[in-house]
Structure 1
Amino acid sequence: MAERSILLVMDMMNDLIHPKGMGGKSYVPLCEAKGLYDNTAAVIARARAAGVMVGYVRVGFSPGYAECPPGSPVFSKAKDNGVFTLGSWGTEVHEAFAPQEGDPDIVKHRVSPFYGTKLEPLLRAQGIGRLILAGVSTNGVVSAAVREGHDRDYACCVLEDCCAGATQEEHDFALAGLRRFAEVTTAAEVEF
């Protein structure tokens, strides 16, 4: 590839995709059915072997939830449910693809991985022009990353078998809308 790439593993946290996490009933069945855990681990290994940076994006709030928007239909119940608390097991990346020493850790307080985070300074400093995206949920962080990445002039590539929604319909609908803005491929077929 002519442009430097980064593989972003987004919101693949225990709260969302671990069977014992709060999202266990929502996301885990589709993650398991799609082979998301194995696919994501395999593409991370391929990226590392190709010398491609692997970065992790996690949603989280300080223990007092000061950054949590109370009127958000997505995040307003986080405090009540005790989820997305930074420093807790729930906001750790799932052990199947945990970060290695030196991997960028981008913490966000909204759906977008760009909004109020260090992601763009990291991309600019590293001369990265292509985002390879994996994450939960397809209609949340993945869609936000593609749309905002596109508008910031990054080439975007979605790994459809490394993404999931709460339902297959939600996932498929999100992908249909993203094909206009990004390449959609699989963990096995992506080129580094």
Structure 2
Amino acid sequence: MKKVLLVLDMQNDFVHADGPSGKSPLGAQVVARKVLANTAKAIQKARAAGVRIGYVRVGFSPDYRECPPGSPVFGGLPKAGILKLGEWGSEVHPDLAPQAGDLQVVKHRVSPFHQTNLDLQLRTAGINHIYCCGVTTQAVVQATVREAHDRDYEVTVLDDCCAAHSAEEHANSMGSIARFCRVTSSDEVQFGAN
């Protein structure tokens, strides 16, 4: 069984202390839950076990041509000036930096499968088990779990490597996807086991 650890939307605009969300409720949850340290540990464990690492980022052209203006999630981005591809804010947090050979996906919607080549990259590599972590739990993590499940992947979520805007929102999100995946932690995960 081939596996991948997908690191979802762990971008400076969302998880870096100096990013727009750094002082927000999301930033507070990222710190309180030790999401960056836990994710770095999970990435190290996955690499040691020979598991591929994949990075999914949400980002838009400087003119936001891919950004849906009527979206309650994305509509305000042009005014805020965030998540521009090629800028610091859209890059992966330096504590989780990609390495040569890692899978890379840029998306323009919540789901990493929506009009991207993620599924193609995974199937070409023979991957059938997705481990995932990221922010936010109620958005990209839920979307990944549900769609990966429906595409017949096995899915495992690393709970302590995810965060939402509140502890309650994270817990509710994890509860709603528990039927579609396994749940473990960065301490407990055994990437080498089937």
Superposed CA offset, 1:21-72 (max 9, x none): 1111132211111111111000100000011000100000011100001111
Aligned with 2:14 (options 16, 23, 28): 16
Q: List 4+ stretches of structure 1 deviating above 4 A.
A: none
Superposed CA offset, 1:72-131 (max 9, x none): 100000111001100000001001111012211100000000001110000110010011
Q: TM-score, normalising length from structure 2?
A: 0.96
2:91 maps to 1:115: no
Indicate the RMSD between aligned Cα atoms, in angstroms.
0.7
Q: Distance in 2 between matches of 1:109 and 1:130?
A: 24
Q: Output aligned runs, 1:75-90, within 5 Å.
A: 75-90=74-89
Deviation at 1:167, TM superposition (A): 0.7
Q: TM-score, normalising length from structure 1?
A: 0.97
**Corresponding position of 1:26:** 25
| Seq. identity, % | 51
Residue 148 of structure 1 aligns to a residue in which SS? helix
Superposed CA offset, 1:121-149 (max 9, x none): 00110010011001000000000000000
Q: Distance in 2 between matches of 1:22 and 1:169?
A: 22
2:132 maps to 1:133: yes
**Corresponding position of 1:47:** 46
**Corresponding position of 1:153:** 152
Q: Distance in 2 between matches of 1:125 and 1:83?
A: 32
Residue 61 of structure 1 aligns to a residue in which SS? coil
**Corresponding position of 1:35:** 34
Give the unaligned 5+ runs of structure 2.
Answer: none
Give the unaligned 5+ runs of structure 1.
Answer: none
